[in-house]
A = this chain, B = another copy of it.
Amino acid sequence: MKKLLFVYGLLVVTFLAYIWYFVLRDEAPTGWNESAAGLTGEISEKYVMVTFQSSLDYWRTSMKGFEDAAQQLNVSVEFQGATQYDPNEEITVLEKVIARKPAGIAVTAINPEALNPTIDKAVAAGIPIVLFDSGAPKSKAYAFLGTDNYDAGAQAAREMARRLGGRGKVAVVTQPNQLNHQERTRGFEETLQKDYPGMSIAEVADGKGDILVSSQATNRILEAHPDVQGFFATQANGGVGIAEALETLGLAGRKVVIGFDTDKGTLDLVKSGVIDATLAQGTWNMGYWSLLSLFHLHHGIVAAGGGEGSHPIPPYMDTGITIVTRDNVDDYYAK
Binding site for B on A (CB under 8 A): 1, 4, 7-8, 11-12, 14-15, 18-19, 22, 25-26, 33, 35-41, 43, 65, 68, 72-74, 145, 148, 280, 282, 284-285, 288-289, 292, 301, 303-307, 309-311, 313-323, 327-328, 331-332, 335
Contacts and interface: CB of A to CB of B under 8 A. Distances in A.
Contact of A39 (B38, B284, B313, B314): B38
A315 to B, nearest CB: 5
Contacts of A331: 304-307
Nearest to A301: B72
A285 B314 contact: yes
Contacts of A39: 38-40, 72-73
B309 A322 contact: yes
Contacts of A332: 305
A309 B280 CA distance: 11
Given A39-B39, A314-B319, A307 B328 contact: yes
Nearest to A69: B301
**A interface majority secondary structure:** mixed
Contacts of A316: 148, 316-318
Contact of A317 (B22, B40, B314): B314
B73 A303 contact: no
B303 A314 contact: no
6 contacts: A25-B26, A39-B72, A306-B328, A314-B320, A316-B317, A316-B318
A12 B15 CA distance: 9
Q: Which of A8, A148, A289, A306 gathers most chain B CB within 10 Å?
A: A289
A310 B307 CA distance: 37
A314 B74 contact: no
